[in-house]
Amino acid sequence: MRVPFIKMHGLGNDFVVLDARERPLPGTISSSNAKALANRNTGIGCDQLIVLEPSAAHAFAMRIYNADGGEVGACGNATRAVALLHGEAATIETTGGLLALEPAKDGATVNMGVPRVDWNQIPLDYAMDTLSMPVGWRELKNPVAVNVGNPHVIFFVEDADKVDLGTLGPEIENDPLFPERINVNVASGVGENHLKLHVWERGVGLTRACGTGACATAVAAIRRGLVCDAVTVTLPGGDLLIEWREGESIRMTGPATESFRGEFEWDDFA
């Protein structure tokens, strides 16, 4: 059976979107066929596979699979892409909670919910201060931990460009301290309320942009008093505006783009 797909990206973080809101998929998405579709050599190729499904209580539901086939609870860049695709304001379901979409020209503002910062909400393997964790991996020390639907640790350094995140990222991601693995963020200040960010994304690797990483990093920087409540976060793929006040939801604004549409044979990836 032929299945239509939409290829989209947010600042270079790219997605294959399967819209099953009105036309169900021929079968259930598994880790293996999500991984096969995401493969850049033998599949369509993407950082995340996004599946849109009907919802009884909200506009629709969104399921998110990383390139390694693992399902995750949130993806900020994909949420902006889906907002652009949907074309109107909506509240949607994810396994990480409800998200509110506000489409805008060439992108969207997304309400990403209230960040979670307790050690068992990240989760960590044992209790500790998540604002300055007493741990380190070589030159990366004392990170902040934040869960924004996905778990993140954020390291603030003098120059994010000089950190070998390709080597340190997988080591930290798979450390036993993080029972669900972790997304690794390295950030540095480049001006007033302006951060530069590189992200090693759990199940993906180095990425040109990570919306939840930008949100988590902004929250971490605000909690540490490094920036105020509206922060520009510059990733290799471009800029996101993150707004947050203590006790409130995070608002993320940035671009999204539809690249192309096509079809694939379901049985080729089942």
Run of H or E including 34: helix 31-38
Residue 61: count of CB within 10 angstroms of its CB: 18
Q: Are 202 and 174 in contact (CB under 8 A)?
A: no
Out of 46, 210, 215, 228, the active site residue is: 210
Q: What is the pLDDT of residue 115?
A: 97
Out of 46, 75, 215, 228, the active site residue is: 75
Q: What is the pLDDT of residue 41?
A: 96
Angstrom distance (rounded) from CA 85 to CA 53:
14
Q: What is the pLDDT of residue 141?
A: 98
* Residue 215 annotated to the active site: no
Beta strand pairing status for 90-94 and 60-66? parallel
Of 100, 62, 103, the closest CA to residue 256 belongs to 103
CA dihedral (163, 80, 64, 263) in degrees, to 10, reads -110
Q: pLDDT by residue for the chain (270 residues), tens digit each?
A: 899 999 999 999 999 999 999 999 999 999 999 999 999 999 999 999 999 999 999 999 999 999 999 999 889 999 999 999 999 999 999 998 899 999 987 789 999 999 999 999 999 999 999 999 999 999 999 999 999 999 999 999 999 999 999 999 999 999 999 999 999 999 999 999 999 999 999 999 999 999 999 999 999 999 999 999 899 999 999 999 999 999 999 999 999 999 999 999 999 998
Q: Which amino acid, residue 213?
A: G
Q: What is the pLDDT of residue 104?
A: 84
* Residue 210 annotated to the active site: yes
* Secondary structure E strands in the chain: 2-10, 13-19, 48-53, 60-66, 71-72, 90-94, 97-104, 107-113, 136-137, 140-141, 144-147, 151-156, 183-191, 194-201, 205-207, 230-235, 238-243, 250-255, 257-265
Structure tokens belonging to residue 77 = 């860049």
Find the length of the chain: 270
Q: Residue 22 class from Cβ within 10 Å (0-12 exposed, 13-18 middle, 19+ buried)?
A: exposed
Percent helix, strand, coil in the chain, to 5, is 20, 40, 40
